A = this chain, B = another copy of it.
């Protein structure tokens, strides 16, 4: 499994993914699930993936090929697409096509699929955050629903439901996604460190902060312990 989360806030976007991939519990590896495409100051796109590694790797490889193709057009390259909406469409179409091809090779029972989060901004445009379903259709984050999650999303949702609003600061937002990930890591073995964190400040059109958080990272561990303590203290203070 996987857990990826993206927030769309007034001040920018905050993205976090884990890196655990498993084909069965005895076959676990670390794979990056966050991919950045940028032309700093002009365009930034971050894609996070959940689901079958064969589907997401092939999709990403094809997206990259299309960018590098000397005949790339605004219809095929996410770096030339005129809007972020078009970027989401290109990613969605590509994802659905790859999934169909791979599904075709597998029996129905094994059916492979993947979903993606696409976050980005191009110069002069708005920041946009999309969740792309395995079928290629997508939804977009809004003021009322400022976060999107893919993968093992339920354990980490309660904290986001309570604290994330469009007005949340980027620093609080990083705390929120890390605590959301922390709850998921504790409750589901198939989500694992290291983590990839990215922050895209509004109108920077580039990734303004990029951090890989390794297992045993002292700051992450301290935060996780402080949160446990806060929860236990809060729990102890409540009277029923």
- A residues near B (Cβ < 8 Å) are 154-155, 157-159, 161-163, 171-172, 174-176, 178-179, 183, 186-187, 219, 223, 226-228, 230-235, 237-240
Decide if A235 touches B158 in the complex (CB within 8 Å). Answer: no
Residues of B within 8 A of A230 (CB): 230-231, 233-235, 237-238
- In the complex, A198 Cα to B143 Cα: how many Å? 40
Q: Is the CB of A235 within 8 A of B157?
A: no
A240 partner residues in chain B, CB cutoff 8 A:
171, 174-175, 178, 219, 223
Question: Is the CB–CB distance between A186 and B163 below 8 Å?
Answer: no
Partner of A235, one of B175, B183, B228, B239: B175
CB contacts (< 8 Å) of A178 on chain B: these are: 240
Q: Could you write out 12 A-B pairs with CB less than 8 Å apart?
A: A154-B155, A155-B155, A157-B187, A158-B158, A159-B235, A162-B231, A162-B232, A172-B235, A223-B238, A223-B240, A226-B237, A233-B234
Q: Is the CB of B157 within 8 A of A232?
A: no
User: A238 is contacted by which of B186, B227, B233, B238 (Cβ under 8 Å)?
Assistant: B227
- Which residues of the other chain, B, contact A239 by a CB distance below 8 angstroms? 223, 226
- Chain B residues with Cβ below 8 Å from A159 are 231, 235
Which residue, A175, A219, A223, A231, has most C-beta atoms of chain B within 10 A? A231
Given contacts A158-B186, A178-B240, contact A234 B234 (CB under 8 A): yes
Determine which of B161, B163, B228 lies in contact with A232 in the assembled complex, contact meaning CB atoms within 8 Å: B163
Instruction: Tell me the smallest distance from the CB of A156 to a CB of chain B, in Å.
Output: 8
Chain B residues closer than 8 Å to A237, beta-carbon distance: 226, 230
In the bound complex, do residue A187 and residue B163 qualify as a contact, i.e. CB atoms below 8 Å apart?
no
CB distance from A160 to the nearest CB of B (A): 9
Taking CB atoms, residues of chain B closer than 8 Å to A223 are: 238-240
- A26–B57 Cα gap in the complex (Å)? 40
B179–A235 touching, CB < 8 Å: yes
Shortest Cβ distance from A119 into chain B, in angstroms?
21
In angstroms, Cα B159 to Cα A239, docked, is 16
